[in-house]
Structure 1
Amino acid sequence: MLASFIFMVYDHMITLAEEVDRIWQQEWTGATWLFALNRYLTELQFIVNLVYIDGLLIQACDNFIPFAGASTLVSIAIAEIIMILRTYALYQRSKYILGLLAFFWTGQVIVMGTTLRHPTRVKLPEGLVGCIQGGSGDYAVAFWLAPLATDSVIFGLTMFKSIEYIYKTRYRVPLIHVILRDGILYFTVILTANLLNCLLYHLAPPSLKVIGA
């Protein structure tokens, strides 16, 4: 987790100048606030997780566990809203597309929230310490399958519209190429991460089930 946090901070630092120029010095809108929340809530979540990661006090760890799951849910939900808005814009603000994606997003939040109703602390092997949230039963896999379903719909819609634009304009809209490229890269990374988490929940021993989370 520490390595992930360091990498995140490094990525933030090398893009900070662009962030100040294109975000902080511009007029603030709803999309701007979503960007800021997505950018800084995740870092705050990492900081809190690192504080409790040793899990030396079981009671403190038990009190912390609900935060870990809830904060992850919120972070993913915010990121999904950003992707939904991009797809909504790509489809020229189609209310049908927005309604479809809102339906999947709402279902995702409900499913993820349901899996967090009874959070449990992973019992680590002797000699290891940590405050890591686990889940009981195969239903815990739904925590990662739910956002994967939403991402799959977003990816499919992005691919369809991007290819349609490319066909109609005969490659004369560079922005569409960027959207298509970024959409493929984003979905590939998310698909890999979520499938890895699902496989670990099914195949790994209890102490390793959430290693990819």
Structure 2
Amino acid sequence: MAATSPLGAISAEVTALNDYAAVRYTNIAFLTFMVFDHIITFETEVAKIWTLQWRLPKVLFLVNRYVIPPMLIFDGYRLSMIFRNLCVALSQSGPHGTVETILIVRVLAICGHRKWVRNFLVTAFLCAMAAWITLSSKIMTKTTGSPGGILFPGCLYSAPKYFFAAWIPPVAFESTIILITLYYLSEYEWSHINLTLRVLARDSMIYFLIMFLVLLANLFIAKWGHDFLGSLLIAPSSVIACVAAARMMMNIREVGDVDIEPLPAIEFRTPATTTMGDGEV
């Protein structure tokens, strides 16, 4: 085997440093955006969310708002002194798991709380999470984390080449949710949908499409990105999930305060009929 020339070694180091800088500054930009969004929406959060009863949506909101972000910040910002045993591959399932649970509730509202849809979504979600955890566990056993030192501050991870496979389950689940939402939205006469349901459908579809594209990009970058670039969108996808979940829930709560005249039952093209009223999500 031919030895690597000094010039080639230097070129590889420069490339690695450039890739690291791209990942690091991308993470910092998204994390700064997350903190800024938290600050400007805090007043709305206090008024619209803190007054809710302690039920699943409120718990998921607070976990997504106050538990997940510190984990992301710890992993992404500069840490001048960091111990080796703290550099573990922190799970990315937290933000996606909580957001997907919130979205299941929203999709059920769009489809009229049909029992078979609920059972299907819950089963699909559990299967996706089980597959994600199984793949991630296998990958984590081959992943090592360590402080990067002065040149690469923060946590650096070395993962196996097949770690892109962990993104396949969430991409599949997002695709399923998009198709179900589009199908049921096509059953409505849009002009007869009340404002609450319009906001619900609008925010959900925007989130589904953005997250689907980001997760798909994660899959391809993890597969073909070299060295540090393989993790380019991992933290940003979690930030998008955190911010989007908070925004969607606050939007629907703000709409709930608007005085809306009740509308008659919404007729589907199928024989079944359901009534969609303004309710809390």
TM range (shorter): 0.7 to 0.9
Q: Deviations over 1:110-152 (max 9, x none)?
A: 121122224214798x9434424453133x2232221121111
Distance 2:104 2:211 in 1: 15
Query: Contact 2:161/2:223 (CA < 8 Å) preserved in 1?
Result: no
Task: Look up the match of 2:201.
Answer: 180
Q: Letter of the 2:70 partner, please give it.
A: L
Identical aligned residues as a percent: 23
Q: Letter of the 2:155 partner, please give it.
A: C
SS in 1 for 2:228: helix
Task: Look up the match of 1:208.
Answer: 229
Query: Contact 1:144/1:198 (CA < 8 Å) preserved in 2?
Result: yes
Query: Contact 1:201/1:210 (CA < 8 Å) preserved in 2?
Result: yes
Query: Contact 2:181/2:205 (CA < 8 Å) preserved in 1?
Result: no
Query: Contact 1:166/1:176 (CA < 8 Å) preserved in 2?
Result: no
TM-aligned CA deviation for residue 54 of structure 1: 6.4
Report the structure number with the largest CA radius of gyration.
2
Q: Deviations over 1:33-78 (max 9, x none)?
A: 1111112222121233246766865x33xx5323x1x2x1122111
Distance 2:155 2:93 in 1: 18
- Pairs within 5 Å for 1:31-180: 31-50=57-76, 59-60=84-85, 63-66=86-89, 68=90, 70=91, 72-117=92-137, 118-119=139-140, 120-121=143-144, 127-138=151-162, 140-166=163-189, 170-180=191-201
TM-aligned CA deviation for residue 3 of structure 1: 2.2
Normalised TM-score (structure 1): 0.82
| Residue-pair matches, total | 203
Query: Contact 1:88/1:94 (CA < 8 Å) preserved in 2?
Result: yes
CA-atom RMSD in angstroms: 2.6
Over 3 Å counting, the alpha-carbon distance change for 1:25 and 1:160 in structure 2 is same
Distance 1:49 1:188 in 2: 26
Query: Contact 2:75/2:154 (CA < 8 Å) preserved in 1?
Result: no
Q: Find out whether 1:192 has 2:218 as its counterpart.
A: no
Counterpart selection for 2:45 from 19, 36, 41: 19
Query: Contact 2:76/2:154 (CA < 8 Å) preserved in 1?
Result: no
Looking at secondary structure, tell me which structure has more helix per residue: 1
Distance 1:56 1:40 in 2: 22
Distance 1:55 1:207 in 2: 21
Which protein, 1 or 2, shows the higher relative CO under an 8 Å CA cutoff with sep ≥ 6? Answer: 2
SS in 2 for 1:128: coil
Q: Letter of the 2:48 partner, please give it.
A: R
TM-aligned CA deviation for residue 81 of structure 1: 0.4
SS in 2 for 1:15: helix
